[in-house]
Amino acid sequence: MTTVEVPDIGDFDEVPVIEILVEVGDTVSVEDPLVTLESEKASMDVPSPVAGVVKELLVKVGDSVKEGVPLLTVEESADDDSGGDAESGNSDAEDEAAETDAGGAVGTPPAASARSSLALPDDALGGMPTAPTTNGTGAKAGAPDGGGGLLGGSDDAPIYASPMVRRRARELGIDLTTVAGTGRGGRIQAVDLRAAADAAAKAPAPAGGAAGAGDATSILGFALAKWPTPDFAKQGPVERVELSKIRKLSATNLHRNWVAIPHVTHDDEADITELEAFRKQVNAEQAKLKEGGAKLTMVALLMKACVASLKAFPDMNSSLEPGGEALIHKRYYHLGFAADTPNGLVVPVIRDVDQKGILDVARDLTELSGKARAGKLSPKEMSGSTFTISSLGGIGGTSFTPIVNAPEVGILGVTRSAMKPVWDGSAFVPRLMVPLSLSYDHRVIDGAAAARFMVHLCQTLTDLRRVLL
């Protein structure tokens, strides 16, 4: 008998159980999702460490749990063949194949990575969700069965669906109580979800239109027009693409940060001619190592330079106390970096950058970037940042306005470097210049302080030996 416990949940003391994906008697395989937990930063499925049969549920939906708390018990099976509902004769793998064969009409985000989420601020969702009301089965009363296992609906009719299908239903926002299963015994299959999603996409918009993200009645007493909700299909072919979990979470938080924080962006350029030559030299040396050395990127060098500037200007490494009475200066330097993934933007965090060598930072960047793309970042790896870097240098651009990631007070945007003629006092010489865009919270940082921070940072990038000062 194996007891499944709450894994590492990062900086949180407790997190709520928002879904239970199995019932007593269910057969599960290794890595099958069992329970869904949700913090202010991300939702995560707790996978089964063994193959077997669920014997006892030790929590219910709405319970708050901490690391190490038992969730359920699984009686291990003699073999690892538990790939589906034997009664239905259709495995999760077959569901996945059927879903792929259906043509992907409603852009479903990959389930494996949809659980990873943007590294959001400590108050990202306005505090922990209130424990939902539950019915006798542990499902949210009156709420769609987003995947609670063999649950009773409003009429206590059972819902038969595999963990794969239940997870897809949550991502698509489909109420399983409204889906008619075409599998054996009424089991809901992936093709049934596709049919339900297609029907929802083709359904006419409700009268008056649904509330849009920008809906508001007034701003500062000025009345606003209703958010436009035209029927786009009347104009030509359309396709409805469901937003991934990451994009949904980031949208609400970016909107809040943009509205609540008075942003100012300061643009500047740094001469990185010598720094780029140093980077190439180090990479050439690392390539000769038998075990394969770390690849040094400009972002790793930027992080070390930023730490020097953050130490010189501690207000930039702070947070505004709720109520605005004081600043919390942080004496640690955990730097986040924006990582582009197939499901949206996430921000992994490299901890204690000030205590690490440049090559150690480079290794951390490579490791966390890989985890981000695979959707395998843990909550701890996306929390605790004090300052963030968002680099578009690999794509292009000359400047942009990154949005401050509350409760931080600053974020550095970086775009593509370019050779430019620079006057050295007697002649124009070619120098490699990188554009930098610093967005900051104007309640904490004034324009002069931001300009001085950028001057210090540019000087440090021009001569990285200043990091030693």
- 243-302 pLDDT per residue, tens: 887 788 788 888 889 999 999 999 999 999 999 999 999 999 998 887 777 899 999 999
- Taking alpha carbons only, the member of 361, 341, 345 closest to residue 353 is 361
Average pLDDT on 148-156 reads 35
- Res 178: pLDDT: 84
Residue 416: is its pLDDT beyond 80?
yes
Residue identified by tokens 């651009």 is: 397
Average pLDDT on 306-335 reads 95
- Taking the mean position of all CA atoms in its chain, how far away is CA 155? 36
- 102-113 pLDDT per residue, tens: 333 333 333 333
Active site residues: 442
> C-alpha angle 225/229/230, rounded to 5°?
120
49-58, 116-125, 322-331, 449-458: range with lowest mean pLDDT: 116-125
Residue 153: is its pLDDT beyond 70?
no
- Taking alpha carbons only, the member of 129, 401, 81 closest to residue 262 is 401
Residue 218: is its pLDDT beyond 70?
no
309-323, 351-365, 366-380: range with lowest mean pLDDT: 366-380
What 3-state class would DSSP assign to 171? helix
- Taking alpha carbons only, the member of 416, 392, 388 closest to residue 403 is 388
Average pLDDT on 382-390 reads 95
> C-alpha angle 329/333/339, rounded to 5°?
125
Average pLDDT of the residues of the chain: 79
- Res 422: pLDDT: 95
- Res 406: pLDDT: 93
Amino acid at 195: A
Q: What is this structure's pTM?
A: 0.60
Instruction: Report yes or no: 278 and 464 within 8 Å, Cβ to Cβ.
Output: yes
- Res 2: pLDDT: 92
Average pLDDT on 441-446 reads 96
Distance CA 124, CA 120 (A): 6
Average pLDDT on 112-132 reads 34
Amino acid at 408: E
pLDDT grade for 433, boundaries at 50, 70 and 90: very high
For 418, the token pair is 């370019």
Instruction: Report yes or no: 380 and 404 within 8 Å, Cβ to Cβ.
Output: no
For 240, the token pair is 């409805």
pLDDT grade for 386, boundaries at 50, 70 and 90: very high
